[in-house]
Structure formats: C-alpha cells, structure tokens
Amino acid sequence: MADAVFNRAREGLRVLEDLARFVLDDVDRVEGLKQARHALTEVAGRWPGPSMVCSRDTMGDVGTSVSTEAEGRRRDLQAVAAAAGRRVTEALRSLEELAKVEAPSLAGTLEQLRYSIYDLAGHVETSLSAGRAPQWSVCLLLTEDSCQRPWTEVAAAAIDGGVDCIQLREKSLGTAELIRRARHLVDLAGPRNVSVIVNDRVDVALAARADGVHVGVDDMDPADVRSLAGNSLLLGVTVRTPADAETAIARGASYCGIGPMFASPTKPELVPAGPEHLVTMLPALGSVPHLAIGGIDLAGVQQVTRAGGRGVAVCHGICGATDPAEASRALVQAVQAGCLDATSEAVPGHA
C-alpha cells in the first residue's frame, strides 16, 4: 500500500511540475513542486521495514483493472491539473493515515507536505483556468471618433489587412449600442479567426459572446472579472510595472497590455514609458502574451520589436488612415518582420 501510494503522489507531482514548467513557465511553482517531490522521496526512504519495491505486485493488484469513463478523458489542461492535484493530496492523506500505524514520526511531516501542495496545486490549476490569449501581431483599437471612414468599414478593412484582434473601445456609448456593435464585430471577425475583445465591459462581452474583455489600471479588478465571467472570456489587463504584471497574471489575466510606448492622442495625460520599458516588463510576463500600446506607428513598431515586443495595439494608425486595409497590412508585416529579425539575432550562428 505504501509503495503504491508514494508512486501515485510522485506521479501527480510530476504532472503538476511539467504543467508549471512547459505551459505556465512559472519558475517559482516548478521549484516548489520539485522540492515537494524530493521531500516525498526522502520520506519514502525513511519508511520502516524492508524496501517497498520488494513488496510490489502490479499484476496482483486488483485496483489496476478498476477505472471509470471519466479517467479516460480530460476537458483541458486545467482539468489535467485538477486531477493531478487531487491525486497528490488524496495520496498524501492516505499515507498520513497509514503512517499513524506504521511510522508515527512521519505523520506530521506528511500532513505539512499535504498542506503545502494544496497551495501549489491550486495555483497551477488557477493559472491554467484563465486561458491564454494568442500572441496577436496587431490589435485594432476600434474607436469611432478616430475613424475617417465608418467604423464598420474600418473594421472590415483592418481584417482584410491582416489584424488578428479587434478591441471595441467606446467609452460613451450606451449598453444596448455597445452590445449591437460587439455582436456585429463577432459576426464579422469570427469567420476570419480574428478575436474580438470588449474594453471595460464584462457584461457586454458576455452578452455579445465576444472572445474577451480588457480592463485598465483603474477598472474592475481582474479577480472580480473572473468571478463574473469564469473562464468563458479571455482577460486582458493593462499593466505599468513588473509587480502589476505579476499581480494581473496571478488574478487571471490571459494577456497584458503594456504602455504607453509613445505619446498618444487617446490618453495625452500619460507620460510615455518608451519601448525600453518592455525590457523591464517582459521578464515578469514569462510566456503570457502581451500587446505594446500607445502612439505606435510603423517606426514605433521597429523600436518595439527590437525591445522584445511581439504584438502591438493600434488606434489612430489604422482608424485615422485613408486606407485602413493597407495601414493594417503594413503594420502586420512590420511586426512579423521585426519578430523574425529578433529571433534570428537570438540564434547563435544564424546567417
């Protein structure tokens, strides 16, 4: 029994560790889970009696042939993490009870280990539940007041030009009109595999079945968005500092907006941080997608990608263009070329 349960706990820890390492890129959780796995191995080495391997009898274990239909499938990686977390903590509880009979001195250690893994497993599951946005190249910040042409034409032209995300950004419209516009964008963009995000309004995003919602520094707390929308929406959060980014991700952000890069007529009161700010911000994001924002034009794209940026959000550069399709196309090509150049420079010996 002890041999089987130790193995079950270690297997669950390994699954959680791999999710934290390869999916979340979360070094702190990887380290914590690895330490827990080694601590469990150390406890197993202190278990009294002969080597547990000597008592192993897989073929004679009646439990190996008992399973349920649910064990053969998982809905998503969050479900994988949830199952692995339960496997570990339930196994540790079983070991703790067994230790009270066979190794009383180890029961307290197993209890404390179980409590620590509750937190580690919960963090991995919560981080996966938020979902990850694609790493968009160019997101159009669609604001009617900035458009030279009707907003519907600008949206359609931008999609033709290759933008892979549209954020509906209207601060003064009523709820009914916002929902109508968001639904129009979903119908327009969905068949082209272009994401639709609604600025600020969780209710509108849900009603229109948009892909996500974006909240700013002074808007709804990301954790409150998740409590309302669950995992049904991608969640973008504007961040200004590495601490902001870490907090946003911990509270469920799917991607982060970083800025302002340059002076912007949309928010003239904000002091531009400059593309070099990305160098400070990106390590805090890890593998979480991002969009650089604020006064970005073609020349700005080059500076952003040189600093490590992989996506930009643009309002006036597309909305204010006489040819929004061509403006979008030029921006998309500039981002993709800049990312390719950055990747080439990062590969030693690349010609």
- Contact criterion met (CB below 8 Å) for 197 and 225: no
- Contact criterion met (CB below 8 Å) for 293 and 312: yes
- Give me the pLDDT at residue 247, please: 92
On the question of a cis peptide bond just before residue 242, with omega within 30 degrees of 0, the verdict is: no
**Which DSSP string do the residues of 326-340 spell out, in sequence order?**
HHHHHHHHHHHHHHH
Q: Determine the Cα–Cα distance for residues 172 and 298; give it in Å rounded to an integer.
A: 29
- Give me the pLDDT at residue 304, please: 96
- Give me the pLDDT at residue 89, please: 95
- Give me the pLDDT at residue 12, please: 96
Q: Determine the Cα–Cα distance for residues 294 and 258; give it in Å rounded to an integer.
A: 9
pLDDT one digit per residue (tens) for the chain, 351 residues: 898 899 999 999 999 999 999 887 788 899 999 999 999 999 999 999 776 655 656 666 656 665 565 556 776 677 899 999 999 999 999 999 999 999 999 999 999 999 999 999 988 887 776 567 889 999 999 999 999 999 999 999 999 999 999 999 999 999 999 999 999 999 999 999 999 999 999 999 999 999 999 999 888 999 899 889 988 899 999 999 999 999 998 888 999 999 899 987 767 777 788 899 999 999 999 888 999 999 999 999 999 999 999 999 999 999 999 999 999 999 999 999 998 876 656 544 443
- Contact criterion met (CB below 8 Å) for 339 and 310: yes
pLDDT tens sequence across 248-264:
988 889 999 998 999 87
Reduced to 3 states (helix: H, G, I; strand: E, B; else coil), residue 164 is coil
pTM for the whole structure: 0.66
- Give me the pLDDT at residue 19, please: 93
pLDDT tens sequence across 174-229:
999 999 999 999 999 999 999 999 999 999 999 999 999 999 988 899 989 988 99
- Give me the pLDDT at residue 133, please: 86
pLDDT tens sequence across 47-64:
997 766 556 566 666 566
- Give me the pLDDT at residue 349, please: 46
- CATH T-level topology, domain 138-346: TIM Barrel (3.20.20)
Q: Report residue 171: phi and psi, to 5°.
A: -85, -20
Q: Determine the Cα–Cα distance for residues 212 and 200; give it in Å rounded to an integer.
A: 10
**Residue 63 per-residue DSSP state:** G
Ranges of each domain in the chain: 2-129, 138-346
- Contact criterion met (CB below 8 Å) for 189 and 164: no
Question: What is the residue whose two structure tokens read 């800049």?
Answer: 338
